[in-house]
Structure 1
Amino acid sequence: MKRKAESQTNSHNGKGILKKRAKTVLSEEEVLNSFRKGLFAKDVLQKYTAEYAESEPYKHGVINSLINDTLLRSVRNEIRENVHFTPKETDIYKIHQSGDLANLDGLEDAALEKLPSLLRLRDALYSETFRKYVSEITGSGELSGRKTDMAINVYTPGCHLLCHDDVIGSRRVSYILYLTDPDIPWKAEWGGALRLYPTKTFEDETGEKTKTPSPDFSKVIPPAWNQLSFFAVQPGESFHDVEEVYHASTKEELEKEGGRIRMAISGWYHIPQIGEEGYVEGAEEKWGKNSSLMQLQGNPDRYDFPQQQPVTVEAPTEPNEEKGLEEADLEFLLKYMAPTYLTPDTLEQVSERFLGLSSVTLDGLLSKKFADKVRSYIEAQETAPLPDDSAEIEKSTSWKVAKPPHKHRFLYQQPSTEKTTSDTTEMNPIQELLEVFLPSRQFRRWLEIATECEIENYDILARRFRKGQDYALATSHDGQSRLEISLGLTPTGGWGVDSDSEDEDDEEKEEKEGEDGENGEKKPNGKPSEKSTESNDKKETTENSEEEPDDVGGHEVYMAGDDDDSSSNGDAAIYKTSSDPDDDNVLFSMPASWNKMSIVLRDSGILKFVKYVSKKAEGDRWDIAGAFGVRDLEDGDEEEGNGEENMVSLESSEEEVFNGFPDSEQSDSD
C-alpha cells in the first residue's frame, strides 16, 4: 500500500496553483550555512558512519542539531503560518499531512514568497553535498537530487503510524527531520517515537529462508527538535512504526506542554534518475521488482499467526430438507442465547433483514445469565497485568500473539484441535464460547436459518486488542462468499455511537437517541457531526484537536476494494481523509461493543480491518470472530446492495433501529 503525501501543496488560502518555474540551486556556501557548523568535518562524518554500521536491529542513524537553528526555527514558523494540513486516516495511520514539498517550485509567487526558508531547507537536504554525506554514512550508493519526495506530517494526540518497511518504488533512504517545539523539549512519555523492529530468519525443510519481523520493537528513538533519523530502505527488513502520540490527562496539562504536536519533515532519497550521476538504465524498474520479490522471499504466509483452522461440516444427506430447531436444540441454545432470538417471529425478521442487506447486527445476543458470567471474567482479566514481551505472554497465559506486525497484532485463542466434550466445568466463559457454543451444530443451524445460507465449514477465533498496542490491517477475501460473525464482548464504554451498555437505562437511551438526529438515524462511527470548511483555521486542525470528540479506534470496518487502484501506489484502505462524513467507501462498520453480534456476508474483494486501539481507550477490545464458509448461493439470493448497505440492529426488545451508511466513492489518497 502507498503511504505517501498528496500531490499538491496548498498555501494558507487553499489555492496553491502550480506553474512551471526553474528549480533554484543553492551555492556551496549556502548549503554549508544551512547546516550546523562543523557537520561536514571528516571526523564527524566518520563518527556517524561508525555508529550507523554498528546500529541494531538494522542499520540506522541519528544526527542531533542537523540544521542551522535559526533557519529551522524560521522553517517551523513558516509552516505554522502558511501551510495547510489535511487530516488523513487509513487502516495503518492517522495523521495531518501537507502536500508533496517537491511541488513548492510550482506555487504562485505570492505563496512561494511566504515559504523561503522551507524552500531553502528542501534544497539543502537534496543538495549534492548532503546527498553524498548521507550516501557515505549509509553505503547506499548515489542518491537522486532531482526526485525530491518529502512532506510535513503533524501528529497530534491519538495520531500514529503502524508497522511497515517503507518499500515502494525507487526509495533508497528514509529520513525524518523533527520540528517539535524548540522551547518545550519533547518527553518520551508523550509517545511519538520512531520504533524499529528486529526480524527473524526462518529456514524450511528445503533450505529456503524467509525473514519476518518480530511483534515487539527493540529500538525506540523519541522525537527531538532538529534531530534527523534515517535508514536505508531494506525490503523485508527495515520495519518500523511511529508510536501513538498520547493524550494528556487534562486540557490544562496539554496547553502547558505546547499541545504535544509532533511535527516533522519526512521523506525519501531515491535512486538516480535519467541524466544524473550514477543513473543506470532500467535500474529503477529492477530495484522495484527485486524489492517486491524480496518481500515475498520464501513463503512468508507460512509464518503468519494465527493460521486458519477451518473445520469442514458434513453436507446434509437431503439438501432440500426443511431445516428447523428441535426442542433439544432450543434447550442447548437457551444456555447461551437470549430467548428473543430463538422465537420464530424474531428469526424471520433477522432473516428478512439479512437477505435484503447482506448484514445484520443483533444487540443482546447472549442470555443475561451467561453474559454476566462473561463480563465478570473479562473485567477480572483486564485488571490482571500482562507481560510486555510477546514470548512471555505466550509462556505465562493462554493467549498467543498475532504476527507479523506489518499485518496485525493482537492476542488470540483458537479452539482446541482435540474433540470438544460437553463438560464445561473446567472452561472459562471465553473458552466455552469458543469451544462449545459457536462451533456447535445447534448454533450453525440457527445461523443457517437466520441467513438462509448453507454452511460447509467454520473457523472461530477469540481476540483481545490491547489498548495502545493492537490492530489488524486491511486484508481482502479472495475466495467464495462467506458469513463472518463478530460477537462483541467489550465491557468498557466510550467506543463510539453504537457502544451503549446493555444495562443503560431508558432515560439514557432516549437522551442518546435525541443526540443521534432525526428519525433515529445515527452518524457513522468515528465521523464528526459537521463537515469541515475551507475557512477553518489550520491551527484548529492541529493544535486544538483536543476539543474534537476523541476517537479511540477499535472499530471493525468492511470496505469496497477498488479494482482500479491495485498497483503498489494504491492505498486501498483509506477510509477517512477529511472530516467529511460522506467521503469514504465504508460498507459496514461496528465499534467495539458489549454483547452485540454482527453477521456480514462478505464477498470476494471486500477489505476488512480493525482500527488500532488508542491508549486513551477505557479498556481493551474483546470479541469472538468467526468465518463460516457457505455453499454457492442460487441466483438472486445474494443482494449486491449497490453501495447502499445498512446496518440493522434488532434490540432484544424486538425494537428495530436502522443506521444508514452513505453511498460514496473511494477517497483519492494520491
Structure 2
Amino acid sequence: MARRPRSPSLELPTSGSNGSSFPVLADPTPHLHNGLLDSENVEQLHHNYETSKPWKHVVVDKLFQDELLRNVKDEILSELSFTEKETDIYKVHQTGDLASLSFLTPEQISLLPSLLTLRDVLYSQTFRKFLQRVTGCGPLSGVKQDMSVNTYKKGCHLLNHDDVIGTRRVSYILYMPLPHYQGWQREWGGALELYDTKEGADGLSEPKSVPEKAIPPSWNQFIFFEVQPGKSFHSVEEVVVGEGEEDGRQRLSISGWFHAAQPGEEGYAPEPANSSYPDLAFPERTEPPLPSSPLSADHVSFLSEFLNPVYLQPRLMKALAERFVEESSLELHSFLCEALAAKLQTGLRENDRRDGLLNSEGERDGRIPPHWAGTSDNSRWALKGPPHKWRYCTLKKPISERAEAVSPRAALADPDEIVRSLQEELFPSHAFRAWLACMSRLLPLRYAVEARRFRPGLDYTLATSEEREARLDVGLDLTPEPPVEMRGKGEEEDEVRLSGWQAGEWGGWECYMAPHDEEDDPAVYRSSSSKKEANGNGKANGNDKANGSNGQMNGNGKMDVDGPHSSDEEMDGGTDDGQDESGTLLTIQPGFNRLLLVLRDERVMHFVKYVSAAADGSRWDICCEYEVGMVQEEDD
C-alpha cells in the first residue's frame, strides 16, 4: 500500500508495537490558534480543568487557525463518505478511522491535505505534551491514533457512558457545526451533557439520572478530558433539526481518544480491567405451576377480567404453545380485554398531554422535553436510572394501600391505576404463571416485574446480558398508536402509511442480539455497527457492510476511509442461524396491546432503543422476567 510521500516539514516517529509509523508534524504551532501553547494560557486551562464541575474537563474556545478548519470542513464534505450507524447506545453518521489516511494512495491523499495536517497536529508530540500539562495525565501514545469524523443529523444521539474501554486515556471532540457561519442554537439539541455521580446500591459510583451541565457545540471549540472510571459519564443530546432545513444544519465534529503509551513506548504501563453490571433482584421462589396442569375455574375467572377471552381457549392455547416450543418467541395481539385496552389507548395519550409531552391538539413539536417531564410531585411516575444502564419512568409506590382490588377491573377509570393493576395483580398472580406454564411448557419460578414509561427525547435501556441460565421475558406493550388522521395517506386513498413506530423512525424498538466476544464492547463507537433495518413482524433483516479496500470509492464518488484499522467484526463475513451481520436475533417495533414471550438464552443481549424526540408520545410497557425450569419428560 502506498504511503504519503515524506515532506520537509514532517518527521517520522519510531514504530509502535503494531509495526506502523505515522507522519507527525515537527512544529504544529503555526496551525494552532494564536497563543494556545503560551505558558500563561496553559496554566489558565490547567486551573479551569482542576476546578471544573461536575468532573474535570476543559473547553478551549478556539483550537485551530480558522482557515485550516474551514478547509478541513470543505474536504470532509466533498471527499469523504459517511455511513449511518446505529446500536443501542448511539445513532450517528461516521467515517472510518482517520489513522487509515496514512495508507491511502498519493492521489487520494492529495485530496485531503488539510485533514491530514489537522490529524498530524493533534497527535504531534507538542500537542500531546500540551494535553499532559493541562490534565496531568500520564504519557500518551504517538503510534496509536484513534479518531473519526462524525456528523449528527436529525435524530442522531449518543447515550450515557464513561469512555472507559481499553487503553483510552484522554477523550476529545473538535466541533465544526454547520452552517459554520451561523451559531448553533441551544434548542437544536446536540449538546454535550456531563453527569455528576452518586454512590449506587452496590457501593460503586454511578451517574445521576439528570445531567449537571450541557455544553452546546460551537465552531472550532475543542473539549477534552481524562477518561475517569466511574466518573466521566457524558452523553450527546439528540439533534432535532436538519431535515428540510435549507442551510444544511448538522453537528459535524472530529472526535476520538488519545491512548496510554503502548508497549515499546516510553511510560508504558498495563491497564487494569473494569467491572460489569449487578444482578437483578427477584422475590423468593414459590412452587411453580406445571405445564401439564390445565387452568382451574378460578384461574379462568381471574384471568378473564384482564385477558382477551380468545387466549383462554384450550385449543388455541395448545396451538400457540406448540409454536412457542418451536420458535422460542411468540407475539399475541389484542391481548387485553377490550374494556381495559380502550381506556389505556386514550388514557395514556392523555397522560402525555397532561405532562406537557403533547400540545392541546394532542401533537408533539419534536423538541427535547425537560428531564423532569412527567415526574413532578403530582405525578404517579418517578425517574429511574442510572443512565449508563437505563433511564425511564416507573410507577411510584401508592401513598396509601388500596383496601381491596377493584372488581371488575374494567371499572378502573384511571390509566395509571390500570397499569398498576397489571403490574401488581396480573403478572405476579398464580393464575398468570399457570397460564404462562401452559403457553411456554416451562416452569415459571422467581420473577421481576416493572411498568415502564419511555419519554420521547429522553429514555432508553442499554444492552445487557445475563451469565445465568435462560430466562423467559414477558412484555406487554401498551404504546398507543397515533390517531389515524395524524398518520397521513399513501398513494392509494385507503392506504394509510405506517406510523413512525412501525416504520422504525421513532426508535423504541426492543432488540435481542447475539453475545459479543469478550474483547468486543458494544459501546465501542466504530464502523462495525451499520444501521439495521427491521420489518414489522419482529424479524430483523440483514444489512450490507461498508467495508472494503483502503480508500475505496463508493457510488457517489467519495472515499470510504477504511483500512488496516477496521475492527475484526467489520472484516468478518456473514453470520448463520437466522441473524444478520450485526448479530441481531430479534427486533420488535412498539405496538399497542401486544404480549411478547421470548425465551432468552444466557449471554444474549437485550435493550430498548432510545425513543426519539420525533416520536408522537411515550413508549409504555410492562416488562417481566421469569427464572424458568424445564420439565423432565419420562421415558416410555
TM-score (ref. length: structure 2) = 0.79
Partner residue, 2:388: 406
Partner residue, 1:589: 587
Say yes or no: does 1:23 pair with 2:22: yes
Deviation at 1:459, TM superposition (A): 2.0
**Following superposition of structure 1 onto structure 2, how do residues 548-559 of structure 1 map, counting pairs within 5 Å?**
551-559=505-513
**Following superposition of structure 1 onto structure 2, how do residues 246-257 of structure 1 map, counting pairs within 5 Å?**
246-247=240-241, 252=244, 254-255=245-246
Deviation track 1:589-617 (CA, whole Å, cap 9, x = no partner) reads 21111111111111212111000000100
Say yes or no: does 1:377 pair with 2:347: yes
In structure 1, what residue type is equivalent to 2:589?
A: P
In structure 2, what residue type is equivalent to 1:301?
A: P
Deviation at 1:140, TM superposition (A): 1.1
Deviation track 1:605-640 (CA, whole Å, cap 9, x = no partner) reads 211100000010000000011112221244799xxx
**SS of 2:254 mapped into structure 1:** strand
**SS of 2:256 mapped into structure 1:** strand
Deviation at 1:397, TM superposition (A): 3.4
**SS of 2:281 mapped into structure 1:** coil
Partner residue, 2:210: 216
**Following superposition of structure 1 onto structure 2, how do residues 540-551 of structure 1 map, counting pairs within 5 Å?**
551=505
1:168/1:568 contact within 8 Å kept: no
**SS of 2:141 mapped into structure 1:** coil
1:245/1:260 contact within 8 Å kept: no
Distance 1:22 1:344 in 2: 70
Deviation at 1:478, TM superposition (A): 2.4
Partner residue, 2:612: 614
Q: Which of residues 131, 146, 149 in structure 2 aligns to 1:149? A: 146
Say yes or no: does 1:131 pair with 2:118: no
Distance 2:83 2:400 in 1: 52
Partner residue, 2:168: 171
Q: Which of residues 216, 223, 227 in structure 2 aligns to 1:229? A: 223
Structure 1 range deviating more: 368-377 or 106-115: 368-377
In structure 1, what residue type is equivalent to 2:24?
A: V
Say yes or no: does 1:301 pair with 2:278: yes
**SS of 1:144 mapped into structure 2:** strand
Deviation track 1:547-577 (CA, whole Å, cap 9, x = no partner) reads xx77210001112214xx1125566999951
1:194/1:223 contact within 8 Å kept: yes
2:83/2:530 contact within 8 Å kept: yes
Partner residue, 1:201: 199
Deviation at 1:272, TM superposition (A): 2.4
Q: Which of residues 267, 273, 286 in structure 2 aligns to 1:313? A: 286
In structure 2, what residue type is equivalent to 1:566?
A: E
Structure 1 range deviating more: 408-417 or 53-62: 408-417
**SS of 2:451 mapped into structure 1:** strand
Partner residue, 1:577: 530
Deviation track 1:225-281 (CA, whole Å, cap 9, x = no partner) reads 111011111111111011111146xx54x22xx3321111101112223554xx235
Distance 1:421 1:354 in 2: 39
Deviation at 1:104, TM superposition (A): 1.1
Distance 2:478 2:136 in 1: 51
Distance 1:485 1:265 in 2: 42
Deviation track 1:481-524 (CA, whole Å, cap 9, x = no partner) reads 22211111111349xxxxx99x999x999847xx99xxxxxxx9
CA distance 1:509–1:347, shift in 2 (3 Å) = farther
In structure 2, what residue type is equivalent to 1:343?
A: Q
In structure 2, what residue type is equivalent to 1:52?
A: Y
Deviation at 1:336, TM superposition (A): 1.3
Q: Which of residues 422, 427, 438 in structure 2 aligns to 1:438? A: 427
2:381/2:396 contact within 8 Å kept: no
Deviation at 1:450, TM superposition (A): 1.6
Partner residue, 1:566: 518
Deviation at 1:89, TM superposition (A): 1.1
Distance 2:207 2:124 in 1: 34
Distance 2:396 2:589 in 1: 23
Distance 1:438 1:418 in 2: 21
Deviation at 1:330, TM superposition (A): 2.3
Q: Which of residues 228, 236, 247 in structure 2 aligns to 1:242? A: 236
Q: Which of residues 294, 315, 334 in structure 2 aligns to 1:345? A: 315
**SS of 2:258 mapped into structure 1:** strand
Say yes or no: does 1:64 pair with 2:24: no
CA distance 1:504–1:192, shift in 2 (3 Å) = closer
Q: Which of residues 28, 31, 40 in structure 2 aligns to 1:34? A: 31
Say yes or no: does 1:100 pair with 2:73: no
1:177/1:229 contact within 8 Å kept: yes
Deviation at 1:381, TM superposition (A): 1.6
Deviation at 1:456, TM superposition (A): 2.0
CA distance 1:511–1:352, shift in 2 (3 Å) = farther
CA distance 1:414–1:627, shift in 2 (3 Å) = farther
Deviation track 1:280-327 (CA, whole Å, cap 9, x = no partner) reads 35x0x2x343xx2xx56xxx738xxxx5343533246xx68x422233
**SS of 1:393 mapped into structure 2:** coil
In structure 2, what residue type is equivalent to 1:373?
A: K
2:317/2:438 contact within 8 Å kept: yes
CA distance 1:200–1:91, shift in 2 (3 Å) = same
Distance 2:299 2:631 in 1: 26
**SS of 1:147 mapped into structure 2:** strand
Partner residue, 1:650: none
In structure 2, what residue type is equivalent to 1:356?
A: E
Distance 1:421 1:388 in 2: 36
Deviation at 1:132, TM superposition (A): 1.5
1:483/1:628 contact within 8 Å kept: yes
Distance 2:399 2:598 in 1: 26
Structure 1 range deviating more: 413-422 or 56-65: 413-422
**Following superposition of structure 1 onto structure 2, how do residues 633-644 of structure 1 map, counting pairs within 5 Å?**
633-634=631-632
In structure 2, what residue type is equivalent to 1:629?
A: E
Structure 1 range deviating more: 598-607 or 137-146: 137-146
In structure 1, what residue type is equivalent to 2:176?
A: L
CA distance 1:447–1:511, shift in 2 (3 Å) = farther
Say yes or no: does 1:280 pair with 2:267: yes
Distance 2:201 2:147 in 1: 38
CA distance 1:242–1:397, shift in 2 (3 Å) = same
Distance 2:394 2:461 in 1: 12
In structure 2, what residue type is equivalent to 1:631?
A: G
In structure 2, what residue type is equivalent to 1:171?
A: R
Partner residue, 2:88: 91
**SS of 1:609 mapped into structure 2:** strand
**SS of 1:446 mapped into structure 2:** helix
CA distance 1:416–1:485, shift in 2 (3 Å) = farther
Deviation track 1:76-101 (CA, whole Å, cap 9, x = no partner) reads 11111111222211111111111111
**SS of 2:630 mapped into structure 1:** coil
In structure 1, what residue type is equivalent to 2:212?
A: S
Deviation at 1:151, TM superposition (A): 0.9
In structure 2, what residue type is equivalent to 1:412?
A: T
Structure 1 range deviating more: 615-624 or 377-386: 377-386
Deviation track 1:38-64 (CA, whole Å, cap 9, x = no partner) reads 222222222222211211000111111
2:382/2:396 contact within 8 Å kept: no
CA distance 1:92–1:361, shift in 2 (3 Å) = same
Unaligned residue ranges in structure 1 (runs of 5+): 1-8, 10-19, 495-499, 517-523, 527-548, 638-670
Deviation at 1:224, TM superposition (A): 0.8
Deviation at 1:117, TM superposition (A): 0.6
Partner residue, 2:79: 82
In structure 2, what residue type is equivalent to 1:147?
A: K
Distance 1:198 1:32 in 2: 35
Unaligned residue ranges in structure 2 (runs of 5+): 4-18, 357-368, 534-540, 544-579
Distance 1:592 1:414 in 2: 24
User: How many aligned residue pairs are there?
Assistant: 550
TM-score (ref. length: structure 1) = 0.75
Partner residue, 1:323: 293
